[in-house]
Amino acid sequence: MANKQHKQHKYPGANLNDLDTIIDEMVEAVHNSKDEIYNITEQARVEYETLTEKIARLRIEIEEIISENDLLERKERVSRQRLATVSENFSMYSEKEIQKVYETAHNFQVEYRMKQEREQTLRKERDDIERRLRSIDDTIERAESLVGKVSIVLNYLTDDFKEITSLIEDAKEKQMFGLKIIEAQEEERRRISREIHDGPAQMMANVLIRADIVDRTYRERSPEEALVEIKSMRKMVRESLYEVRRIIYNLRPMALDDLGIVPTIRKYLQTLSDYHDLVIHFHEQSNHERLEEKYEVAIFRLTQEAVQNAIKHAEASVIDVKLVVSKTRVNVSVKDDGKGFILYETKSQSFGLIGMRERVDMLDGTLELTSNPGKGTHVFINIPLKD
């Protein structure tokens, strides 16, 4: 009872302004927490990149010392054979010659053992760094996920929560819809950030490391070996450029504006097939007339989401995509030979499916999903075309 009295008198004469003050304090606290998480994430990224450069140099050094050990092992074996020969014919050699053969064999043995110990030390250091990298990568992933969740809370506090009206049920529906959109946006941003970090950013970091190797190779070895490294570096730059173009294409395929829906989907599926090394069949029936932009964008995004789900979640090896465009409607069919699932046991409210259903609903279309364990999944979309 005492607690209840305390709560009743904590904010005497409470009104909407008091509520706004409380919300503002909550927003500030959550925002500060988000900044702290972001700083931790950035520090982890810096450490990750530093360790990545270090382990790259270690691997090169290990390769070099392995080559040196192989050469030393051969020399040590020859010196032991020479020592055995001298020992068998002891009387044929002078004391000075015998001493020289012995010292040579001994020196090779000592140097070989030292190199072996150095190799073991480097391998242990490499293994320790690899474990540290895995731990940091896990920290970054969890921190990114947490930042996304905190962003959702911030958006809820600053937008949805302050817009509560007297119509409670309508407000709840709007908030849930808004939260789903915000979560989908945060998930997409996190995905793009991860793609850039794991793709172009990582490749460019490797290019910097290779540039240092080229410089060292040119100075310490020969221009010919440096040229080999430059060719390898050129290949990495090409791969990085390919990754950047792929990410840009996924954000907004420019071919959609220039060529239309059929050529864009065909090119997109071919790129996916090459990139993921799987079979994607594309069949289309169309009069090749351009559709309104809203239809072309929606059809592309729906096809993209369905195919990506087949690749990421269904673990499919063969995907069949069929696009039928008539004067009155558009049908999209995506079938895969993946692992399938039981419909009522899946996460029916997953972001991908929610987004697809909402996009189809906005166009007054229908989406049918059928799947069984071990028998793949089939997504069928029907969108009416309106004048």
User: SS in 3 state form for 68-95?
Assistant: HHHHHHHHHHHHHHHHHHHHHCHHHCCH
Domains, the chain, ranges and CATH?
A: 16-247 (1.10.287), 253-384 (3.30.565.10)
Give the pLDDT band (50/70/90) at residue 84: confident
**Predicted local confidence at residue 225, as pLDDT:** 80
| Farthest CA pair distance, the chain | 114
Residue 280: pLDDT band by 50, 70, 90 thresholds?
very high
The per-residue pLDDT for 349 is: 44
Contact status, residue 41 vs residue 147, Cβ threshold 8 Å:
yes
Q: Higher pLDDT residue, 121 or 341? A: 121
C-alpha angle 366-367-373 in degrees, rounded to nearest 5? 155
Residue 1: what pLDDT? Answer: 42
What is the predicted pLDDT for the residue at 11? 43
- Residue 303 banded pLDDT, cuts 50, 70, 90: very high
- CB atoms under 10 Å from CB of 240, counted, come to 18
Mean predicted confidence (pLDDT) in 148-157: 69
The whole-number average pLDDT for the span 296-320 is 88
Q: pLDDT category, 9, cuts 50, 70, 90?
A: very low
Residue 245's CB: how many other CB atoms inside 10 A? 12
Taking only the tens place, the pLDDT of each residue in 207-226 is 788 788 878 888 888 888 87
User: For the ranges 65-74, 88-97, 239-248, 250-259, which has the lowest average pLDDT?
Assistant: 250-259
What is the structure's pLDDT at 177? 60
pLDDT of 44 reads: 82
Which H or E run contains 334? strand 329-336
Q: What confidence category does residue 13 fall into, taking pLDDT thresholds of 50, 70 and 90?
A: very low
Distances (CA, A) of 35 to 23, 105, 155, 158, 234: 18, 63, 15, 16, 38
Global confidence as pTM: 0.45
Nearest to 270 by CA among 261, 279, 259: 279
What's the whole-number average pLDDT of the chain? Answer: 78
pLDDT of residue 115: 84
Of the candidates 336, 271, 280, the one whose C-alpha atom is nearest the C-alpha of residue 309 is: 336
* Whole-angstrom distance, CA of residue 16 vs CA of residue 7: 17
Task: Give the span between the Cα atoms of 202 and 207, in whole angstroms.
Answer: 9
Residue 265, Cβ density class (10 Å: 0-12 exposed, 13-18 middle, ≥19 buried): buried
Cβ atoms < 10 Å from Cβ of 309: 21
Alpha helices in 156-201 (DSSP H): 168-196
pLDDT exceeds 60 at position 348: no
* Residue 10 confidence (pLDDT): 45
Q: What is the pLDDT of residue 172?
A: 57
Please tell me which residue, 101 or 188, carries the higher pLDDT value: 101
102-135 pLDDT, tens digit per residue, is 888 888 888 888 888 888 988 898 899 888 888 8
Q: Which residue has the tokens 């002078």?
A: 94
What pLDDT was estimated at residue 204? 78
Name the residue with higher pLDDT: 370 or 5.
Answer: 370
